[in-house]
């Protein structure tokens, strides 16, 4: 026969385990979300500081393209190069084909000297591509909060370092 004392002890033990488990799997507000601060206000929430490349153009290391024909990230310091204005686009000063080869910068690709509407090749960079930083951005050196599992597959061996959008733009379209 199981004694009453044993039954009481066993039920006390199971209550203890049950509540113990419940406590360990509950979260307080600060633990919710990725930012780990209170969720009803912004007072204690501060963004992580950005840390952009300080390496001068000409000395930086190019960043592999995120996927085939992705706009490459800007690997060098852009201090003093922005804003891009109607009168002044310093990016073009180095990246325009002809100059780029001399300063060892990647020249703007064929797609930038092309009018997508008329399908005509242009003598200079298309106005639609004038504002370089609308598509090309510097990369801040911060740890991502969530790991990115995406792995690009390039169809050409040099696909991580070169683009050819204009060559493949109308692939499959006839
Ligand atoms: C003084 C010349 C110079 C200026 C001005 C300049 N760049 Fe560059 N850029 C380079 C060079 C050189 C490289 C190659 C990496 C290196 O050597 O630092 C490069 C690399 C890049 C790349 C990477 C290309 C690739 O193939 O991965 C991008 C994108 C880029 N620059 C965009 C810009 C933008 C946008 C601006 C204007 C805000 C700009 N650059 C201004 C010289 C320059
Ligand atoms: C509308 C978006 C857009 C704008 C604006 C833009 N680019 Fe690009 N850029 C791209 C994309 C997308 C690619 C990659 C695909 C390709 O070849 O067009 C690219 C590729 C490049 C490359 C790499 C070329 C290669 O051979 O690998 C350079 C260098 C570049 N752009 C410079 C510039 C400069 C300098 C400007 C401003 C004058 C500029 N881009 C404006 C979208 C843009």
pLDDT at 132 over 90: yes
Answer with the residue of higher pLDDT: 174 or 66. Answer: 66
Structural domain for 59, as ranges: 50-174
Last residue in a domain, options 32, 47, 62 = 47
Lowest mean pLDDT among 12-16, 74-78, 123-127: 12-16
58 and 36 in one domain? no
Q: How many domains does the chain have?
A: 2
Distance (Å, whole) CA 31 – CA 28: 6
pLDDT at 167 over 80: yes
Cα→Cα distances 130→43, 80, 154, Å = 39, 17, 27
Q: Which of 57, 83, 115, 135 to mutate to test the pocket of ligand 2 (most atoms within 8 A of CB)?
A: 135
Q: Which of 83, 106, 131, 160 to mutate to test the pocket of ligand 1 (most atoms within 8 A of CB)?
A: 106
34 and 99 in one domain? no
38 and 75 in one domain? no
82 and 97 in one domain? yes
Confidence band, pLDDT 50/70/90 cuts, at residue 19: low
Confidence band, pLDDT 50/70/90 cuts, at residue 16: low
Please tell me what DSSP assigns to residue 86: S
pTM of the shown model: 0.86
pLDDT digits over 96-122, tens only? 999 999 999 999 999 999 999 999 999
33 and 83 in one domain? no
110 and 40 in one domain? no
147 and 65 in one domain? yes
């Amino acid at each position: 026969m199981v004694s009453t004392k044993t039954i009481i002890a066993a039920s006390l033990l199971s209550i203890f385990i049950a509540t113990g488990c419940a406590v360990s799997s509950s979260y307080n507000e600060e633990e919710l979300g990725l930012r780990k601060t209170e969720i009803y206000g912004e007072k204690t929430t501060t963004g992580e500081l950005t840390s952009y490349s300080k390496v001068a153009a000409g000395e930086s290391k190019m960043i592999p393209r995120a996927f085939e024909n992705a706009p490459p990230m800007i690997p060098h310091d852009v201090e003093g190069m922005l804003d891009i204005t109607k009168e002044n686009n310093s990016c073009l000063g180095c990246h325009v084909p002809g100059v780029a080869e001399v300063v060892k910068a990647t020249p703007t690709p064929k797609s930038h000297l092309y009018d997508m509407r008329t399908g005509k090749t242009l003598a200079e960079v298309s106005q639609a591509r004038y504002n370089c930083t609308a598509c090309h951005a510097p990369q801040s050196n911060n740890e991502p909060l969530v790991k990115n599992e995406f792995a690009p597959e390039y169809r050409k061996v040099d696909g991580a370092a070169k683009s050819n959008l204009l060559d493949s733009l109308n692939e499959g379209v006839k």
